[in-house]
């Protein structure tokens, strides 16, 4: 097997590196950010994702760093219980913890931080370091995220569009709130649709809360954390008291506002000696909660075919044929979940789980 370069050390790049490591395939991984720069939100990971994760991370260690959620409970914004469902082993973990666990298995010679890869000469299958020097590799696995520059350089006609939803995500330490929500995932919905507030526990003293906004109704221009807090307090002032009290008590040190984008149509998942995995191949909107599981399955499947097939082009073809139909299902499910979110709650169907299942 020839040398492989992996571009990007997010969940997909690091899981790819872990699978390659397991099969003793030579690789090097390049990451634009610094090693200690671990900003990010948190993930809901369904049972299937856990099965792939525990092939590459020690199970006990993984479970120490997050928590299993037992029930999903949906409330109206005034606190009336609307529905409840059991969550079948959905796991919650911060991005920072998962990145640390996945990078723990990669030796320091195999990963270069602070090293951006640029897409000049990409058509010749030769991405370069930002200083212009060539990357020494025969096969390139691109995992540089939803706005992948390498993908956009190769597929110049692609169209990305903003989704009718923004998310504010915050991770805070507060033992009292964490204890009060136990292991439930609770989510409040505005009766008129287009606005939610969800809360879940990551550990005994850490919670993640997030809010989803219909960006046609709610124009959030408040990018500093102080202004964001004021905006949130204003919008949620008359909600069930738990919501404004959490917004008020939170530190805004790690708050993040996400604008969500999707591809109008998927591109091929490979070209020549370059294959795409994770969000770089297929941005999935957060409603699906399938970004991490899909990234893991991409890495697993691509590695399996790199091991089994004679040439990388056969491996790439089989990888795409296996993964694309499932991704298309999640994209469609994501659009259905987004449309549900935009409707008043009395018009939403009873498929309330905030997760796309195949
Ligand atoms: C608000 C929000 C909530 C979400 N919630 C969930 C959830 O609950 N469950 C779930 O499964 N998924 C969720 N997702 C989706 C999930 O975050 C992504 O699917 C997943 O993180 C994709 O990982 P990735 O490695 O493909 O991309 P990324 O995490 O974007 O990683 C890309 C990496 O590439 C690096 N990079 C970029 N360009 C270069 C370059 N030129 N050279 C070198 N390195 C480069 C970046 O620094 C980054 O580290 C959510 C997403 C959002 C926005």
Q: Which residue is closest in CA terms to ligand 1's atom 49?
A: 10
Is the pLDDT higher at 2 or at 267?
Answer: 267
pLDDT, tens digit, 9 for 90 and up, residues 173-215: 999 989 888 899 999 999 999 999 999 999 989 999 999 999 9
Q: Among 186, 211, 190, 189, which residue's Cα sits nearest to residue 199?
A: 186
Mutate to test the pocket of ligand 1, among 14, 212, 286, 341 (most ligand atoms within 8 A of CB): 286
Q: Among 14, 162, 195, 154, which residue's Cα sits nearest to residue 95?
A: 14
Cα–Cα distance for residue pair 208/15, rounded to 1 Å: 23
pLDDT, tens digit, 9 for 90 and up, residues 75-101: 999 999 999 999 988 999 999 999 999
Cα–Cα distance for residue pair 327/229, rounded to 1 Å: 35
- SS3 of the chain: helix, strand, coil, percent, to 5: 35, 25, 35
Cα–Cα distance for residue pair 128/22, rounded to 1 Å: 27
**Ligand 1 centroid vs 198 CA: distance in angstroms?**
20
Q: What is the pTM of this model?
A: 0.96
pLDDT-based confidence at residue 358 (cuts at 50, 70, 90): low
Q: What is the DSSP string of 211-238?
A: EEE-TTT------SHHHHHHHHHHHTTT
Mutate to test the pocket of ligand 1, among 5, 39, 43, 220 (most ligand atoms within 8 A of CB): 43
pLDDT-based confidence at residue 1 (cuts at 50, 70, 90): low
Q: Which residue is closest in CA terms to ligand 1's atom 27?
A: 145
- Asked whether 217 and 104 are in contact (CB, 8 A), the reply is no
**Ligand 1 centroid vs 145 CA: distance in angstroms?**
5
Residue 165 C-alpha from the chain's centroid: 16
First to last CA, the chain: 33
């Amino acid at each position: 097997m020839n040398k492989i370069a992996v571009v990007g050390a997010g969940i997909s790049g690091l899981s790819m590196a872990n699978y390659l490591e397991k099969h003793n395939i030579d690789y090097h991984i390049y990451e634009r950010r610094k090693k200690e720069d671990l900003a990010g939100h948190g993930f809901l990971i369904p049972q299937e994702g856990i099965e792939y994760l525990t092939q590459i991370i020690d199970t006990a260690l993984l479970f120490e760093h997050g928590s299993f959620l037992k029930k999903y409970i949906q409330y109206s914004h005034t606190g009336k219980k609307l529905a409840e469902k059991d969550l079948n082993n959905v796991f919650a973990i911060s991005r920072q913890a998962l990145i640390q666990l996945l990078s723990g298995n990669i030796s320091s010679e195999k990963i270069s931080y602070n090293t951006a890869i640029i897409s000049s000469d990409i058509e010749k299958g030769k991405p370069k370091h930002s200083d212009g020097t060539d990357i020494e590799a025969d096969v390139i696995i691109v995992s540089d995220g939803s706005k992948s520059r390498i993908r956009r350089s190769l597929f110049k006609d692609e169209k990305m569009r903003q989704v009718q939803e923004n998310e504010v995500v915050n991770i805070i330490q507060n033992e009292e709130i964490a204890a009060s929500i136990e292991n439930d995932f609770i989510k409040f919905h505005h009766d008129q649709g287009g606005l939610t507030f969800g809360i879940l526990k990551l550990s005994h003293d850490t919670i993640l809360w997030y809010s989803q906004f219909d960006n046609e109704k709610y124009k959030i221009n408040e990018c500093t954390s102080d202004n964001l807090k004021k905006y949130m307090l204003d919008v949620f002032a008359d909600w069930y008291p738990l919501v404004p009290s959490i917004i008020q008590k939170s530190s805004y040190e790690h708050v993040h506002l996400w604008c969500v984008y999707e591809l109008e149509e998927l591109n091929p998942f490979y070209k020549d000696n370059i294959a795409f995995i994770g969000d770089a191949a297929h941005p999935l909107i957060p409603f699906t909660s399938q970004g991490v599981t899909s990234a893991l399955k991409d890495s697993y499947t691509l590695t399996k075919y790199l091991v089994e097939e004679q040439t990388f082009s056969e491996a790439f073809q089989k990888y795409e044929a296996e993964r694309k139909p499932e991704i298309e299902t999640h994209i469609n499910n994501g659009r259905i979940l987004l449309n549900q979110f935009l409707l008043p709650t009395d018009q939403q169907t009873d498929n309330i789980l905030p997760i796309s299942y195949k």
